[in-house]
Amino acid sequence: MNTWAIDGGEPLRGEIGVSGAKNSITKLLVASLLSDQPSHFSNVPNIGDRDITQEMCAAVGAQFASKNGNSLQVHTPQITSNIITKELGGRNRLAIMLLGPLLHRTGRAVIPAAAGGDQIGPRPVDFHLQGVQRMGARVEVKDGDYVIEADGLRGAEIHLEYPSVTSTENLLMAASMARGRTVIHNAAIEPEVVDLVSYLQKMGAIIDYQVDRTFVIDGVEKLSGASHRLLPDRIVAASLGAAAVATRGDVFVRNARQQDMLTFLNTLRRVGGKFEVQEDGIRFYHDGPLQAIHLETSVHPGFMTDWQSPFLLLLTQAEGMSVVHETVFEDRFGYVKALQDMGAEVALYDRCLGHRCRFASSSYKHSAVIKGPSQLRSAEVIVPDLRAGFTYLIAAIMAEGKSRVHGIEHITRGYEDLEASLRSLGARIQAIQ
Ligand code: EPU
C-alpha cells in the first residue's frame, strides 16, 4: 500500500487542469477493438484505469503508440485472443465491456465472472448478459468464467431495468455491428455514454438518441477507425470544486465544463459555495457561511453518485442538518466511519430519507444525516475505494495536524498527477512509501 502523510489546515488555492474522463477512455479503447483500423484519441488521462484497459486490450491484440502522454493511437488489425485472464479481469470492472468487440470479431468471449474494482455494492452484470442474450448470444458459466458465444449478433428490443451506464455502453457497442435494429429502452444518457456514441458515430455507426432514454441503433457491417478528443472528467472537476469550497479555498479548474455539471453547480449554489464559469474552466471558492441541504444522488441529469462523497465532506462544514440519500449504489457510505473518527457528525440509516428508492427494503445504510459545521481532526485512514479515497485526502487537508492516508494506489486509478496537483494548490503532502 502506498501511504501519504498530510499536514492539514491550509486552504487549497490556485489553478489546476482536468484532462479526459476515466469513464470515457476506458470504453473508447474497448470500442476501438470493433474495427481493424487505427483510432486516435486526445485529451487522454494518465491514470491507472487507462493502463489496465490498455493491458486488457493489448492482451487481445491491440497495439498502442503514444505521441505524448495525453494522446494515444490504438490499432487492432487482428484479435489474437478472445480470453481475458482472471488476473487481468480482477484488476477493475471493465473486462465485461470487451464482450461486444470479441463476439463480433471472433464469435466468442471468455471473461472472468469475478471482477475487481470498487466495492460499493454487489454490482452485478445481469443487464449486460441478458442484453446480449436477447441479441442471440449464448452465455455459460464455466470454471469461474462467462463463456459467451454468438454466430453473429442480431438486433433486439431491450429494456434495462435501471439506466445502468456500463450496460448501456456495452449494448451500444454490441448493437453497432449487429444485424438489424436494436432498441435500448431506459438507457443511461450520461455525458460519458454520449461521448462513446459520438466516437461510434465517427466510426460509422448509426445510433439515434431519443428524448425518453431510448437509443435506436441500426447495425452496420463494418466500422472504421476514427479520431476523438475525450470530454473532460466531470467527476475530477467536481471533486476539486467541492475540495476548494470545503477547505475554504479558491481554485480555478481549467477545462471543467459547465454543461456536464449543471446539477453539481446548482447544488453547490444551494449550499452557499461560490463558482464562476469562465471561458476555459470554472473557478470554485468559499465566501461566507454554508447552509445545510437535502440531496439525492441519481442517474444523469441528476446529482452523480461519484460526487456524493466529496460533497458529503463539504456538508460537514455547512450550518445545520443535511441529508444525503444515495440511490445509485446501495453500499456507498463505507467511508463515513473514517470521517466520524476525524470528528464529522454523520449518522447512517437504512431508510430512504427522500423518495422511495430500489434499496428501500434492504438493510443497506444508504441515507446519511450530517450535522455541521465540524472541525475535523487528523487521523490514520485506509482508502476503501477511488472516490472515497479522494475524499479522505481532502478531509486530511482540512484537518488540523498530521494525517496518514494508506492505499493511495486506489486513488491514482482515477486522478492524474494527484500528488503534484494537490501540492501545487498548497497541500502539504509527503509520499512516505
Ligand atoms: N446494475 C445491475 N445490473 C447490471 C448493471 C448495473 O443491477 O447488470 C445496477 C448496479 O448494481 C447499480 C446501478 O445498476 O445499482 C447502476 O450501475 P451502473 O451500471 O450505472 O454503474 P457502472 O456502469 O458499474 C459506472 C461508472 C461508475 C459510476 C456509475 C454511475 C464506469 C467504469 N463506472 O459504473 O464510476 O459511479 O456508472 O454513474 O463507467 C467511478 O468512476 O469511481 C465509478 C464507480
**Closest residue to atom 19 of ligand 1, CA basis:** 164
Regarding predicted confidence, which is higher, 178 or 385? 178
Question: Which atom of ligand 1 lies at the shortest distance from residue 192's CA?
Answer: 39
- Enumerate the domain spans of the chain: 3-18+232-432, 22-229
How many angstroms separate the alpha carbon of residue 142 from the centre of ligand 1? 25
| pLDDT on residue 118 | 67
- Cα–Cα separations (whole angstroms), residue 25 to 32, 182, 378, 404: 10, 24, 35, 31
Question: Which residue ranges have their beta carbon within 6 Å of ligand 1?
Answer: 22-23, 26, 118, 121, 123-128, 162, 164-167, 188, 190, 235, 304-306, 328-329, 386-387, 414
- In 232-262, which positions are buried (b, 16+ CB within 10 angstroms) versus exposed (e)? bbbbbbbbbbbbbbbbbbbbbbbbbbeebbe
Question: Which atom of ligand 1 lies at the shortest distance from residue 387's CA?
Answer: 42
Nearest to 259 by CA among 242, 284, 237: 237
How many angstroms separate the alpha carbon of residue 299 from the centre of ligand 1? 10
146-199-79-65 Cα dihedral, nearest 10 degrees: -120
Question: What DSSP designation does 375 have?
Answer: -
**Closest residue to atom 32 of ligand 1, CA basis:** 23
φ/ψ of residue 110, rounded to 5:
-115, 115
Q: Which three cell numbers stand for residue 329?
A: 449504489
How many angstroms separate the alpha carbon of residue 305 from the centre of ligand 1? 9
Nearest to 397 by CA among 353, 366, 433, 427: 427
Question: Which atom of ligand 1 lies at the shortest distance from residue 93's CA?
Answer: 32
Question: Which atom of ligand 1 lies at the shortest distance from residue 304's CA?
Answer: 38
Most informative mutation of 99, 123, 359 for ligand 1 (most atoms within 8 A of CB): 123
* CA gap 80, 78 in Å, rounded: 6
How many angstroms separate the alpha carbon of residue 383 from the centre of ligand 1? 20
Q: Under CATH, which architecture does the 22-229 domain have?
A: Alpha-beta prism (3.65)
pLDDT tens for 97-114 read: 999 999 999 999 999 998
User: Is the predicted pLDDT of residue 211 greater than 90, yes or no?
Assistant: no
The partner residues of 5 in beta bridges, in order of sequence, read 404, 430
Question: Which atom of ligand 1 lies at the shortest distance from residue 22's CA?
Answer: 41
Q: Which three cell numbers stand for residue 337?
A: 466511519
| pLDDT on residue 117 | 66
118 included as an active-site residue: yes
| Average pLDDT of the chain, as a whole number | 96
pLDDT tens for 273-315 read: 999 999 999 999 999 999 999 999 999 999 999 999 999 999 9
Query: What percent of the chain stands above pLDDT 70?
Result: 99
Fold match flag (3-18+232-432 vs 22-229): yes
User: Is the predicted pLDDT of residue 402 greater than 90, yes or no?
Assistant: yes
**Closest residue to atom 5 of ligand 1, CA basis:** 125
Average of pLDDT values for 42-65?
A: 96
Strand-pair category, 181-185 with 157-159: parallel
CATH topology of domain 3-18+232-432: UDP-n-acetylglucosamine1-carboxyvinyl-transferase; Chain (3.65.10)
How many angstroms separate the alpha carbon of residue 105 from the centre of ligand 1? 26
* CA gap 300, 213 in Å, rounded: 10
The 3-state DSSP composition of the chain as helix, strand, coil percent (nearest 5) reads 30, 25, 40
Most informative mutation of 127, 166, 410 for ligand 1 (most atoms within 8 A of CB): 166
* Catalytic residue chosen out of the listed positions 118, 145, 233, 385: 118
pTM: 0.96
How many angstroms separate the alpha carbon of residue 143 from the centre of ligand 1? 25
